[in-house]
Chains A and B, each alone.
Chain A
Amino acid sequence: MSAYTRDEMMTIAAARMLWDGCVCFVGIGLPSAACNLARLTHAPEIVLIYESGTIGTRPEVLPLSIGDGELAETAACVVPLPEVFSHYLQAGRVDVGFLGAAQIDRHGNLNSTVIGPYDKPSTRLPGAGGAPEIASHARQTYVVMKATPRSFVERLAFRTSAGYLGGHGERAASGARGDGPRAVITDFGVLAPAPESEELTLTALYADASVGEARAAVGWPLAVVSQIERIAPPTAIELDTLRALHARTASAHQRPVELPL
């Protein structure tokens, strides 16, 4: 098997967490790659929902935006956006929601709004989009983020989406219906909430990653479980399928579109 990148390992680790038949609310970027990789390998009956209203979509190439025509053309059905959020997500019909963000704290709360003060930000980020309600209503969420001390922080500049709030059951008491971030998939391995404190704890490492690397990448004193799981490297099928998907996608996104003149 050829060498692989950490990006590929993250995508494959995320894909393995999805099961056949699960209903998955997909975000753009790595989550979209992971969900489609799962669909093309071990989970052919996975149901992919993009917030643009495409349900049960089976894209041949990954969309650049969450509303590319490819998603509509390969969907089981296309519904209005308010319906996706109210009748599907809020109604509890989503098993897994994928989230990313600019910052995460030790209880899995996320910031995708601003760095610095809200009224005078040093960096204005895109904002909430679907995230707050995905975080709240999906039966569970998986967070996918590369870890640096600037992104895995002691204190968020702004809380856009709730994880376990302050931990120790605060999320459940808040009325959130879903179980929250059950896994944070990073470029060194996976963090998961500890049973009581709900503090994100290192539970699994990629084959070539170390606890020291994980600790250096996280901006709070990282707790580590006593028996760390080792995540198997990509199989040839996973890697070939993912690379073929990315190659098809890159070529499709660069294909010139004839101007509608």
Chain B
Amino acid sequence: MALLTLAEALRRHVPDGACVALEGFTHLIPFAAGHELIRQGRRNLHLVRMTPDLLYDQMIGMGCARKLTFSWGGNPGVGSLHRLRDAVEHGWPGPLELDEHSHAGMAAAYCAGAARLPFGTLRGYLGTDLPGVNPAIRSVTCPYTGEALATVPALNPDVTILHAQRADRRGNVAIHGIVGAAREAALAARTLVVTVEELVDELGPAMNGIVLPHWVVSAVAHCPGGAYPSYAQGHYARDNAFYQRWDAIARERDGFTAWMRRHVLESPDHRAFLASLREAA
């Protein structure tokens, strides 16, 4: 484990063309890391996330992605992800290949990946058209019962990036609150990069909270506020008003590009991004 700046961690671990999962289910979405990948001009990424959310809307609209593995691509409670839709419907700013699943299917794919099994099984995709458009969704006959079960190939991202509440100086990472598939995505990856709200000398006893031990973590970057406008339980709340405003910001290409230039590209880091939002408020 190396303690790095976010910019250095991503330069070192995320090359163009990599398969990258920035996970976190509503909670702890690693916005600071995604913005830094946009600033560094990363291209041809295969992005993996159950719920692409605003972060992948931004990365897709800024031309970082060639492929998306996902299971639900909307702005929760608000509506469409306009940049994702524009890429799929009109190929802007470039074509986007889709690898589409259900939540249960994608969760099974992460679990298989974490266990280094070749595929995951579930009673899933029954009576749906998804296997017809995604040839990776197949089936297997159970050797014990003869039942046909759906299968999904294991997901093993080159890099998984998470945001967490705390890490200690050895790189043990603690997460609490809604964890989504963060643990499975972390252990499925070849390389794990984590941004954290707090660096502490020692983590308290975790009991049933989730800890990723230092020897599965490649790099930790201290990045307070790194999940905003998503949230970090115990630190700051989800900015639901921002999620609602995003609908208008991202609706048109020009408005989106201008917003990203002003707040992300012209801000040297996440702190400056947050400061630029305060200035605009």
Residues on A lying within 8 angstroms of B by beta carbon are 28-29, 51-54, 63-69, 71-73, 78, 80-82, 85-86, 89-90, 109, 113, 118-119, 121-133, 135-137, 158-162, 165, 171, 174-177, 252-261
Q: Which of A64, A80, A136, A158 has a CB less than 8 Å from the CB of B126? A: A136
Q: Give Cα A41–Cα B233 distance, bound, in whole angstroms.
A: 29
Q: Give Cα A64–Cα B125 distance, bound, in whole angstroms.
A: 27
The distance from the CB of B222 to the nearest CB of chain A, in whole angstroms, is 13
The distance from the CB of B13 to the nearest CB of chain A, in whole angstroms, is 25
> Quick check: A86 and B107 within 8 Å, CB to CB?
yes
The distance from the CB of A158 to the nearest CB of chain B, in whole angstroms, is 5
> Quick check: B181 and A132 within 8 Å, CB to CB?
no
> Quick check: A124 and B177 within 8 Å, CB to CB?
no
Q: Smallest CB-CB separation from B124: which chain A residue? A: A133
> Quick check: A128 and B180 within 8 Å, CB to CB?
no
Give the size category of B's interface with A: 35 or more
Q: Which of A68, A90, A130 has a CB less than 8 Å from the CB of B26? A: A68
Q: Give Cα A118–Cα B99 distance, bound, in whole angstroms.
A: 12
Q: Which of A124, A131, A132, A258 has a CB less than 8 Å from the CB of B88? A: A124
Q: A118-B133, A128-B102, A130-B102 given as contacts; is B128 within 8 A of A53 (CB)?
A: no
Q: Lowest 8 A-B CB distances belong to which pairs? A: A67-B26, A162-B127, A260-B225, A126-B74, A129-B72, A65-B76, A82-B107, A64-B77
Q: Which of B123, B148, B275 has a CB less than 8 Å from the CB of A136? A: B123
Give every chain B residue within 8 A of A257 (Cβ-Cβ): 229, 236-242
Q: 16 extra interchain contacts, Cβ-Cβ under 8 A, other than A159-B129, A253-B241, A256-B241? A: A68-B26, A72-B27, A86-B107, A90-B122, A90-B123, A124-B85, A133-B122, A137-B123, A161-B128, A162-B128, A175-B147, A254-B241, A257-B242, A259-B277, A260-B232, A261-B274
> Quick check: A133 and B240 within 8 Å, CB to CB?
no
Q: Give Cα A251–Cα B179 distance, bound, in whole angstroms.
A: 27
Task: Decide yes or no whether B110 CB sits under 8 A from chain A.
Answer: yes
Q: Which of B123, B180, B238 has a CB less than 8 Å from the CB of A80? A: B180
Q: Give Cα A37–Cα B248 distance, bound, in whole angstroms.
A: 31
The distance from the CB of A114 to the nearest CB of chain B, in whole angstroms, is 9
Q: Smallest CB-CB separation from A159: which chain B residue? A: B129
Give every chain A residue within 8 A of B77 (Cβ-Cβ): 28-29, 63-65
Among A122, A124, A135, A252, the most chain B Cβ lie within 10 Å of the Cβ of A124
The distance from the CB of A207 to the nearest CB of chain B, in whole angstroms, is 30
Q: Smallest CB-CB separation from A164: which chain B residue? A: B127
Q: Which of A29, A90, A160, A177 has a CB less than 8 Å from the CB of B129? A: A160
Task: Decide yes or no whether B183 CB sits under 8 A from chain A.
Answer: yes
> Quick check: B129 and A78 within 8 Å, CB to CB?
no
Q: Give Cα A57–Cα B111 distance, bound, in whole angstroms.
A: 25
Q: A71-B178, A128-B102, A133-B102 given as contacts; is B111 within 8 A of A82 (CB)?
A: yes
> Quick check: B130 and A132 within 8 Å, CB to CB?
yes
Q: Which of A52, A54, A127 has a CB less than 8 Å from the CB of B73? A: A127
Q: Smallest CB-CB separation from A121: which chain B residue? A: B89
The distance from the CB of A54 to the nearest CB of chain B, in whole angstroms, is 7
Q: List 25 A-B contacts (CB under 8 A).
A: A52-B27, A53-B25, A53-B178, A64-B77, A64-B243, A67-B178, A69-B233, A69-B238, A72-B178, A80-B179, A90-B104, A113-B129, A124-B84, A126-B80, A128-B101, A128-B102, A135-B127, A165-B127, A177-B123, A252-B240, A257-B229, A257-B236, A259-B225, A260-B225, A260-B232
Task: Decide yes or no whether B235 CB sits under 8 A from chain A.
Answer: yes
Task: Decide yes or no whether B70 CB sits under 8 A from chain A.
Answer: yes
Interface residues of B in 64-102 (CB under 8 A from A): 70-74, 76-78, 80-81, 84-85, 88-89, 100-102
Q: Smallest CB-CB separation from B103: which chain A residue? A: A130
Give every chain B residue within 8 A of A127 (Cβ-Cβ): 70-74, 100
Among B101, B103, B107, B242, the most chain A Cβ lie within 10 Å of the Cβ of B103
Among B125, B147, B177, the most chain A Cβ lie within 10 Å of the Cβ of B177
> Quick check: A78 and B241 within 8 Å, CB to CB?
no
Q: Give Cα A109–Cα B88 distance, bound, in whole angstroms.
A: 24
- Binary interface profile of B, 132-150, with partner A (CB < 8 Å = 1, else 0)? 0100000000000001100
Give every chain B residue within 8 A of A73 (Cβ-Cβ): 233
The distance from the CB of A206 to the nearest CB of chain B, in whole angstroms, is 26
